[in-house]
């Protein structure tokens, strides 16, 4: 068989497998498919510089080749391509405490680094629609799963949470009759789950997804129940921030975010960087 033909068949098989995986993902849609957003005119824009950090994998990090990489980085590339502005798009890494000053002094046009859009920040900055939320999830041993409704299933069970975390607050609010044990660290909590000292853990779903798929977990565990978005505790999700003066870019980014969601690009990136679906 000719090499090119063989390679084409292999690529086709890979794309078929990926499309099936994307279809099976529970990744949520943030846009109404019937909603229409016009593509803004960016012909007068000379530069769109995004700033981020390199210490928040898999969203932003330095890869094995020394290049900045991650979910957010690939999303920026997709946004710029969708807006036909790749030639003027830039991505720069800065320490976290420099991100907002860099934006406000005009050295950058956008922040994509998980900056939470608080009420105070919304008075100074403009934010896009969320492109991903990081829900809280339960994880149990595969041999002793929890079933819905979890409020009933948690009766006489002990759930581990990281002491003082937002997930402790969510659990106490959502399951006031539930029994929880606070741990000083995530690692100790997960070791006690494996040792059957507790029945479940409740924590960040994205972080737990990596642990479930790691060698460290020894294939012991799985998610139980569904995702808890809890915006009153976890915020609106990950967004892109600009200054109020650059709010035109928010419309442009929202147009692009809807377009790449409709095309399945965001779902593709999600499963590329989060192989264990945390939704």
Q: What CATH number is associated with residue 260?
A: 3.40.190.10
Which pLDDT score, from 0 to 100, does residue 40 have? 87
CA angle 99, 103, 109 (to 5 degrees): 120
pLDDT for position 26:
75
The range of the structural domain enclosing residue 24 comes to 13-133+236-273
189 shares a domain with 54: no
Q: Are residues 33 and 145 in the same domain?
A: no
Domain count, the chain: 2
* Co-location of 196 and 242 in the same domain: no
Same domain, 22 and 129: yes
pLDDT of residue 254: 95
Residue 6 in domain: no
Domain match, 125 and 18 both: yes
Q: Which of 120, 220, 117, 206 is nearest to 167 (CA)?
A: 206
Count of CA atoms in the C-beta half-sphere (13 A) of 48: 27
Q: Which residues of the chain have pLDDT under 70?
A: 1-25, 33-35
Co-location of 96 and 175 in the same domain: no
- Whole-prediction pTM: 0.85
User: Can you name the residues that pair with 138 across neighbouring β-strands?
Assistant: 202, 224
User: Would you state the pLDDT for residue 201?
Assistant: 98
pLDDT at 76: 98
Q: What confidence score (pLDDT) does residue 72 get?
A: 98
User: Is position 214 within any domain?
Assistant: yes
**Which pLDDT value is given to residue 25?**
61
pLDDT score recorded for residue 33: 63
Contact criterion met (CB below 8 Å) for 92 and 48: no
In a domain, 7, yes or no: no
């Amino acid at each position: 068989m000719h090499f090119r033909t063989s390679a084409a068949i292999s690529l086709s098989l890979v794309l078929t497998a990926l499309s099936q995986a994307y279809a099976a993902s529970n990744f949520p849609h943030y846009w109404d498919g019937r909603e229409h957003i016009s593509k803004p005119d960016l012909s007068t824009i000379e530069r769109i510089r995004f700033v981020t950090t390199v210490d928040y994998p898999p969203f932003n990090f330095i890869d094995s080749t020394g290049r900045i990489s991650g979910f957010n980085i690939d999303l920026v590339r997709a946004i710029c391509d969708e807006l036909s502005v790749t030639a003027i798009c830039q991505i720069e890494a800065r320490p976290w405490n420099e991100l907002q000053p860099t934006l406000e002094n005009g050295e950058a046009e956008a922040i994509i680094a998980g900056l939470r859009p608080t009420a105070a920040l919304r008075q100074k900055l403009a934010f896009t629609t969320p492109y991903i939320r990081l829900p809280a999830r339960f994880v149990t041993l595969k041999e002793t799963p929890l079933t819905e409704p979890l409020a009933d299933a948690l009766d006489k069970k002990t759930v581990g949470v990281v002491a003082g975390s937002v997930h402790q607050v969510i659990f106490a609010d959502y399951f006031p009759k539930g029994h929880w044990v606070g741990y000083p660290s995530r690692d100790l909590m997960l070791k006690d789950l494996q040792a059957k000292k507790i029945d479940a853990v409740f924590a960040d779903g994205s972080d737990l997804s990596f642990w479930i798929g790691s060698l460290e977990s020894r294939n012991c565990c799985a998610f139980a129940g569904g995702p808890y978005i809890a915006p009153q505790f976890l915020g609106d999700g990950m967004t892109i921030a600009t200054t109020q003066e650059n709010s035109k870019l928010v419309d442009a980014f929202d147009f692009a975010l809807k377009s790449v969601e409709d095309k399945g690009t965001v779902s593709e990136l999600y499963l590329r960087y989060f192989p264990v679906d945390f939704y």
